[in-house]
């Protein structure tokens, strides 16, 4: 008995949305789905740089090729372009989303 293995470069079958706007303090989740063989290595970046060492950033992987980045308690400093890059021996592919953050305005009234 013989098996034929078909290797394939990563392909996004569900890409990240192009842009999302949230209020400061919100939690946001970016998710996408990638098909590839062998399974790809996933790298998330913020404005082209490695994600900051911050417990508010949580990456998740599901067995069926779904990947997610969750950011809790969003601040204006989180406003950026986030990229998910999938890579294996056959090639690579990426998908990008821009996160816009609306600040919360406080008003003071003098009496």
Residue 22 has pLDDT above 60, yes or no: yes
Q: Exposure of 50 by Cβ count < 10 A (0-12 exposed, 13-18 middle, 19+ buried)?
A: exposed
Residue 81 has pLDDT above 80, yes or no: yes
Handedness of CA 35, 28, 97, 92 (dihedral sign): negative
Residue 108 has pLDDT above 60, yes or no: no
Q: Residue 4: its pLDDT value, please?
A: 73
Helices (runs of H) and strands (runs of E) counted in the chain: 0, 9
* Residue 37: CA count within 13 A, CB half-sphere: 5
What's the whole-model pTM score?
0.88
pLDDT band at 51 (very low <50, low <70, confident <90, very high): very high
Q: Residue 56: its pLDDT value, please?
A: 97
């Amino acid at each position: 008995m013989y098996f034929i293995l078909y290797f394939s470069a990563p392909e996004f079958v569900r890409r990240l949305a192009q842009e999302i706007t949230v209020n400061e303090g919100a939690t946001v989740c970016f998710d996408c789905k990638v098909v590839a063989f062998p399974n790809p290595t996933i790298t998330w970046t913020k404005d082209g740089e490695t994600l900051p060492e911050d417990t508010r950033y949580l990456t998740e992987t599901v067995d069926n090729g779904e990947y997610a980045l969750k950011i809790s308690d969003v601040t204006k400093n989180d406003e950026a372009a986030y990229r998910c890059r999938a890579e294996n021996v056959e090639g690579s592919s990426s998908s990008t989303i821009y996160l816009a953050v609306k600040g919360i305005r406080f008003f003071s009234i003098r009496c």
